[in-house]
Amino acid sequence: MSKMIGVDVGGTFTDVFLLDETTGAARVAKVPTTRPDQSGGFLEGIGRQVTDLADVGAVVHGTTAGTNALLERKGAKIGVITTEGLRDVLEMRRRDRPRTWGLRGNFEPVVSRDLRLEVPERTLADGTIRTPVDLEAVRATATELLDKGCEAVAVLFANAYANPENEARAVAAVRDLWPNPHVSCSSEILPEIREYERFSTTALNAYLQPEVSGYLDRLDTALRKGGFAGEFMIVQSNGGVMDTATACRLPVRTALSGPAAGVIAAGYIAQTAGFPDVITGDMGGTSFDVSLIAGGNSVLSPQTSIDFGMVVRTPMIEITTIGAGGGSIAWVDKGGLLNIGPESAGSTPGPVAYGQGNTRPTVTDANVVLGRIDPDRPIGGKLDRLDVEAAAKAIDEHVGKPLGLGTLEAAEAILTVANSRMAGAIRLVSIERGFDPKRFAFMPFGGGGALHAGAMLNEVGIGRAIVPRYPGVTSALGCVIADMRQDFVQTVNTLISAVDPASLTEIIQRHVDDGMALLDAAGTKFEARETVFELDMAYVGQTHTVAVPLPVAIRNGKVVTPSRKEIESAFDTAYHGTYGRLLPDGVRRLMNLRSSVIGRRPKFDLATLAPTTGGDAEETCTGTRRVHFGDTWHDTKIYDRLALPVGECIDGPAILVQPDTTVLIEPGLTGRVDDYGNTIITRVEESA
């Protein structure tokens, strides 16, 4: 039981990371992702790593099954039972529109209007029950939904955050007659004020439940059949893992599972390498995803929209996406301005150089034409050799001619504009959080990011980039190291002067007990258990709340009641930190309590991934290639990246290759192999 496996299923590849805890050996494998059922690739990838699953202590999975079901609208047929007068809340949203300009586009909710049924019941905002729920009506509507073929149901009652009684009674009645466990209840999933966000999250949970739990069941069964007796866990959007039973109950928490695992790994790698402040950049085919880690901690956002009108409110690792990926198309508008994206050729048909039918130039085509990607070792597409000539022709026609530039100039122009947009995303992400990006390191991961790392140093003024040893399997590695984590929320909505510390303590205790029970139930060992509490607070009259960290002591499992004074001073500290001032006469309101219960899982030593020390870098040099930088070609040495010894420094221009990634070291930069096999890229003058 000494092996751990992390599996990340992406759009194109399924990555498997295997760690042998006894020997410290790690191995990676990439197999094609299978569609529509991802379990084929999953099992195939694991099969390549281990023959006997009995040796495996844990399998941790970062999955896009939920994300894809949402984006492609492939969830289950579901019904809704809701408060009289409110069946259209899900469809009316918060009165937004898909795009600011143009007034086009409409919206279909995941559950159609004829499957959203109302029952007599009403709770007021203060928790008073004005109309007790009519359980006969609830049973009748549930039966009607079943007759209409619904596989799952969501129960969504107004003000259920303030008093869940009506909703709980209705849910109990539905569960009595519903033939499967797919009954989602808004006050169980998100007991927080704001009906649209709560209803949407709950309805999407129901929408995912049959699909995701079916998928996890298939995997679990197959693993057990192969002799696996360990723990099977799923990465949540908050970057923590949960057991499969929880994942089947709360599948909506997997909405951003895959990318979250990548950010977790990036944070751990960077911190180990001595950079607790890091901005990650995951460059894929259609997008560039940026995330910020400060002091070793990822930034969490309270909610996200998976698509227009599909709001998921559950803590998620904050990832900012811009449409500048390798497949993003470069074009010149009618005013003569060069643009990159948002249109993308994706991975099919992909860049022009892939020869799969696209004729409009992409960012990858620019990299190919400038010699930065080796045409003889294509990472994507189906050709044995990338079609450099076709890429050049496309750049010439769509960018060079309209702008009066030669092919190479035009290709450089494409990269300059793409880099500038990526740099803009990095700047905005850090500035919005009040950080100066210059003090951060940049960590590219994903297949394409390492080609652009040097440009980020120049554009943003960042001091160094750190390219992890296996940038292509970062998410799978993240699965292996992620902690177990459960988040809870409860709306309290009361003035500070009226807070009852005892009843607040009761809620905290309930969150702690529920969270610890989930840790106990997991078959995993934890190095430590932690609890984190936060209050959403504001002055009365202010809309945006401030997240107020609340230190709460727990002795022998019992929560020590925080005093009103402690809450007040915690608010003042947090408010002052955010706005730089306090309002002397302001009345303070406590809106929500948020709790997290975390089980720290043992980390493995990243040094086990490192290459040998000593040896001659020149022996790893596999040749030279002409690469275009600025306005001229440079003879550029190519190195086998994984064979470079620890401590080796390679001055640019140079290219380090490994099976799924190309690391570009531009002239004036140098790359050093650190003790963990990462490549640290800095300016030459600063590397001494």
Partner 1 sequence: MTDQAINPITLAVLAGRMEQITDEMDATLFRAAFNPIIAEAHDASHGLYHAATGDTLVQGKSGLPIFVGVMSFAVRAVIEKAAADGDLADGDIYIFNDAHLGGTHLSDMRLVRPYFRDGRLFCYLASVGHWHDVGGAVPGNYNPAATEAFQEAFILPPVRIARKGVLQQDIIDILMRNTRLPQSAMGDLNGQLGALDLGTRRLDELLDEYGAGTVSAALDALGDRAETLMRSEVAALPDGRWEAEDFLDNDGIMDTPLPIRVALEIRGDRLTLDFAGTAAATAGPVNIALPTAVACCYVAIKHIFPDLPANAGVMRPVEIKVPDESLLAAKFPAPVGGYTETILRMIDVIFSAAAKAVPERVVANAYGTINALSIAGKRANGQPWVMFSFYGGGHGGSAEGDGLNHGNAPISTATIPPLEILEAAYPVMFRQWALRPDSAGAGTHSGGLGATYEIELLEEQAEAFLFGERGRFPPKGVAGGASAATNVFSYEQEDGWHHPPMASKMRGIRLKKGQRVQLMTPGGGGYGPPDKRDPAAVARDVAQGYVSSEAANKIYGTAWQEAEQ
240-271 exposure pattern, b = at least 16 Cβ within 10 A, e = fewer:
bbbbbebbbbbbbbbbbbbbbbbbbbbbbbbb
Least Å from the CB of residue 629 to partner 1: 15
Which one of residues 179, 335, 623, 630 is an interface residue with partner 1 (CB under 8 A)?
335
Site residues for partner 1, 441-480, by CB under 8 A, read: none
Least Å from the CB of residue 35 to partner 1: 28
Asked if residue 424 binds partner 1 (CB under 8 A), the reply is: yes
Least Å from the CB of residue 107 to partner 1: 6
Q: Nearest Cα to 257, choosing from 276, 238, 275, 282?
A: 238
**Residue 586, both tokens:** 């302001």
Neighbours of 431 (CB within 10 A): 11
Angle (CA) 207-210-213 rounded to 5° is 120
Looking at the Cβ atoms of 61 and 122, the one nearer to partner 1 is 122
Binding piece for partner 1, criterion CB under 8 A, among 6-14, 191-199, 223-231, 522-530? 191-199
Which one of residues 147, 384, 498, 541 is an interface residue with partner 1 (CB under 8 A)?
541
Which one of residues 19, 89, 154, 482 is an interface residue with partner 1 (CB under 8 A)?
89
Neighbours of 618 (CB within 10 A): 8
Looking at the Cβ atoms of 269 and 394, the one nearer to partner 1 is 394
Site residues for partner 1, 491-510, by CB under 8 A, read: 493
Asked if residue 331 binds partner 1 (CB under 8 A), the reply is: no
Asked if residue 632 binds partner 1 (CB under 8 A), the reply is: no
Asked if residue 323 binds partner 1 (CB under 8 A), the reply is: no
Q: At what angle do helices 453-460 and 407-432 cross, to 10 degrees?
A: 60
Looking at the Cβ atoms of 54 and 124, the one nearer to partner 1 is 124
Asked if residue 406 binds partner 1 (CB under 8 A), the reply is: no
Compose the 114-153 pattern: x for residues touching partner 1 by CB under 8 A, - for all others. Answer: x-------x-xx----x-----------------------
Which one of residues 76, 145, 193, 627 is an interface residue with partner 1 (CB under 8 A)?
193
Write the CB contacts of 612 (distance below 8 Å, at least 6 apart in sequence): 645, 646
Asked if residue 630 binds partner 1 (CB under 8 A), the reply is: no
Task: Give strand pairing partners of 5.
Answer: 18, 59
Provide, for the chain, the percentages of residues in helix, strand and coil under a 3-state DSSP scheme, each rounded to the nearest 5. Answer: 35, 30, 35
Whether residue 374 contacts residue 657, with contact meaning beta carbons closer than 8 Å, is answered with yes
Asked if residue 525 binds partner 1 (CB under 8 A), the reply is: no
Asked if residue 339 binds partner 1 (CB under 8 A), the reply is: yes
Strands 679-683 and 588-600, by their bridges, are unpaired
Q: Nearest Cα to 147, choosing from 177, 109, 172, 167?
A: 177
Compose the 351-390 pattern: x for residues touching partner 1 by CB under 8 A, - for all others. Answer: ----------------------------------------
Looking at the Cβ atoms of 543 and 556, the one nearer to partner 1 is 543
Whether residue 610 contacts residue 676, with contact meaning beta carbons closer than 8 Å, is answered with yes
Looking at the Cβ atoms of 334 and 555, the one nearer to partner 1 is 334
**Residue 475, both tokens:** 């998410």
Asked if residue 334 binds partner 1 (CB under 8 A), the reply is: yes
Looking at the Cβ atoms of 26 and 395, the one nearer to partner 1 is 395
Asked if residue 204 binds partner 1 (CB under 8 A), the reply is: no
Q: Nearest Cα to 82, choosing from 176, 233, 186, 7?
A: 186
**Residue 620, both tokens:** 């790893």
Query: Which run of H or of E encompasses 479?
Result: helix 474-481
Least Å from the CB of residue 567 to partner 1: 20
Q: At what angle do helices 165-177 and 135-147 cross, to 10 degrees?
A: 40
Looking at the Cβ atoms of 420 and 573, the one nearer to partner 1 is 420
Q: Nearest Cα to 290, choosing from 596, 534, 669, 301?
A: 301
Neighbours of 549 (CB within 10 A): 13
Asked if residue 683 binds partner 1 (CB under 8 A), the reply is: no
Asked if residue 435 binds partner 1 (CB under 8 A), the reply is: no
Asked if residue 161 binds partner 1 (CB under 8 A), the reply is: yes
Task: Give strand pairing partners of 184.
Answer: 154
Site residues for partner 1, 542-601, by CB under 8 A, read: 542-544, 579, 581, 583, 585-586
**What's the CA gap between 421 and 452, in Å, rounded?**
12
Which one of residues 55, 77, 107, 296 is an interface residue with partner 1 (CB under 8 A)?
107
Least Å from the CB of residue 104 to partner 1: 5
- Site residues (vs partner 1, CB under 8 A): 85-89, 91-107, 112-114, 122, 124-125, 130, 158-159, 161-162, 193-197, 333-339, 403-405, 412-413, 416-417, 420-421, 424, 427-428, 431-432, 493, 541-544, 579, 581, 583, 585-586
